């Protein structure tokens, strides 16, 4: 897929707001595993724009964050390592589980890794996780630093993997204004996602997508009956205990 020059659209001032800022996705090019995520793009961006408007009206420096997120997701959907580079600062750092959450100072090789991943998984796509309140961005402006927290979903199938993998995660971005044009750039990314669940989904015949809740609860109940001292005796009943 040809690289997209994200900067070329950074300067375009259109009346599009909210849902109209959602990146265009040709749903017909993607498997059924992607369709629910593609369907939520427009309502998610509409709600994110509503959030931005609330913060701007309250005097916080949030103007343009929804448009930034539109271009950010679009660069991932375009599989454009060059486009992603144009949306980060020259001194960007990040930390993620792949490297044990050690702080990484980004270099050319990091974007080469992204490019390799795009070629290995041609349908790889990142999406907002959902349109429910817990899946929207969190905005933070403490100490004059602009931060957003973004819950996301990655859907991908490698060229030689047995099935499509879905990975849930959360990114925390520090944003700064580009000195040249005042658009947002990412200065720092802290990512959280479960590598074990991602790897478990690639097991050929018995994929692991997480522990079975019923089996875990049953095992705990058996353990507390065998050894009553394991039970927490002073917990007030919860609503779900009676269902």
Which residues pair with residue 88 across a beta bridge?
186
pLDDT value at 61 more than 90: yes
Give residue 3's pLDDT: 37
Domains and CATH numbers, the chain: 7-210 (3.10.450.50)
Instruction: Give percent of the chain with pLDDT exceeding 70.
Output: 86
**DSSP letter (8 states) at residue 86:** T
Q: Which helix (H) or strand (E) holds 188?
A: strand 184-193
Q: How confident is the model at residue 12 (pLDDT cuts 50, 70, 90)?
A: very low
Give residue 115's pLDDT: 92
Structure tokens at 122: 């041609």
pLDDT value at 224 more than 90: no
DSSP assignment of 204-241 equals SSS---S--HHHHHHHHHHHHHH-GGGS-TTPPPPGGG
Q: Give residue-wise pLDDT tens across range 104-147.
A: 898 899 899 889 989 999 999 999 999 999 999 999 999 999 99
Residue 48 contacts residue 66 (beta carbons within 8 Å): yes
**DSSP letter (8 states) at residue 17:** -
Give residue 1's pLDDT: 34
Give residue 205's pLDDT: 65
pLDDT value at 9 more than 50: no
> What would the mean pLDDT of 221-230 be, rounded to a whole number?
87
């Amino acid at each position: 897929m040809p690289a997209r020059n994200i900067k070329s659209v950074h300067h375009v001032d259109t009346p599009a707001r909210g849902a109209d800022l959602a990146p265009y996705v040709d749903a017909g090019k993607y498997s059924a595993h992607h369709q629910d995520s593609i369907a939520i793009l427009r309502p998610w961006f509409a709600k994110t724009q509503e959030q931005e408007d609330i913060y701007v009206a309250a005097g916080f420096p949030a103007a343009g964050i929804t448009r930034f997120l539109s271009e950010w997701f679009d660069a991932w959907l375009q599989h454009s390592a060059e486009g992603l580079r144009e949306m980060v600062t020259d001194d960007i750092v990040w930390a993620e589980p792949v490297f044990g959450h050690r702080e990484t100072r980004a270099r050319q090789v990091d974007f080469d890794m992204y490019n390799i991943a795009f070629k290995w998984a041609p349908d790889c796509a990142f999406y907002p996780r959902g349109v429910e309140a817990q899946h929207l961005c969190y905005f933070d402006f403490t100490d004059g630093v602009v931060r957003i927290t973004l819950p996301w979903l990655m859907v991908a199938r490698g060229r030689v993997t047995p099935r499509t993998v879905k990975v849930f995660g959360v990114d925390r971005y520090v944003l700064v204004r580009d000195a040249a044009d005042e658009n947002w750039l990412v200065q720092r990314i802290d990512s959280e996602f479960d590598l074990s669940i991602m790897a478990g989904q690639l097991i050929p015949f018995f994929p692991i997508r997480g522990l079975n809740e019923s089996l875990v609860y049953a095992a705990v109940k058996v353990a507390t009956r065998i050894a009553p001292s394991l039970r927490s005796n002073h917990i007030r009943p919860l609503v779900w205990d009676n269902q």
